[in-house]
Amino acid sequence: MKVTSKCSTTMANIAKPKEWYDERVEYLAEFMLPERYATMRRVVADRTRYMTVCAENTFHPQNASALVRHCEAFGVQELHAIEFLCGFQANTHIVRGTDKWVDIRRYENTPQAVEHLKREGYRIVAATPHTNDLTPDSFDIAKGRFCLVFGTEKQGISPEIMAVADEFVKIPMYGFVESLNVSACAAILIQGLVEKLHRSDVEWRLSPEEQSELLYRWMRESIKDDEGILRKRFGFDI
């Protein structure tokens, strides 16, 4: 099984202890404006992997870009992209650098993605407009980690996802329109469920170890010649 990722990290593969990252973060902070450093610390404290998002064969770059921006804006750290029919290609003019702050995992097909997500302990939650589905209000976030899956722009959720989905969620609608495009649907569901997490007693935040590792990566992304700066203090142990 081939799964590729862009800067993706979980507790299972954090390579260094928290103290290792904290020491380097403290040093890198000397090369960053205090306001920028404070913003990064605030943002990383509100990141989550309790909820994640999966996009299945997203054809249009503008929709791929919007999904990345939605995840970043609402604090969802990982986005999983199934690329069986087409690649997940964000438009650089739309995504505007936000892909630096979101970890994107890529899969060659749907079974690979489902196997990985299940192994990580996620419920598969398909976003569909079916009559008897749950709504963001009725969806039980406390049952455990969950992955919101969004289908293609034309066909929607694939039969493979429909067959393995643990639950289904929809956006209540009260007009003649029966569905929204994937970008609008994702924005509403992600924001609604993240807000529900924030109001809950669920431990949805990243662990202290995950926060330290992620902050270290973000700071390296933000500082010019980060490698040279770190080597002056820590040698090749960076």
> pLDDT class for 192, splitting at 50, 70, 90?
very high
- Residue 87 pLDDT exceeds 70: no
Q: Residue 52 forms beta bridges with which residues?
A: 147
Sort 159 into a burial class: Cβ within 10 Å, 0-12 / 13-18 / 19+: exposed
Question: Residue 216: which of 6, 14, 1 has the closest Cα?
Answer: 14
CATH homologous superfamily of 48-203: SPOUT methyltransferase, trefoil knot domain (3.40.1280.10)
Q: What is the pLDDT of residue 7?
A: 44
Instruction: Report the C-alpha gap between 205 and 203 in whole angstroms.
Output: 6
Using pLDDT thresholds of 50, 70 and 90, give the confidence band for residue 81.
very high
From residue 130, alpha-carbon distances to 1, 136, 179, 189, 215 in Å are 32, 14, 10, 15, 40
Q: What tokens were used for 6? A: 């862009």
The domain limits of the chain are 18-47+205-227, 48-203
**pTM of the predicted structure, to 2 decimals:** 0.89
Q: Count the alpha carbons within 13 Å of 102 in the hemisphere toward its beta carbon.
A: 29
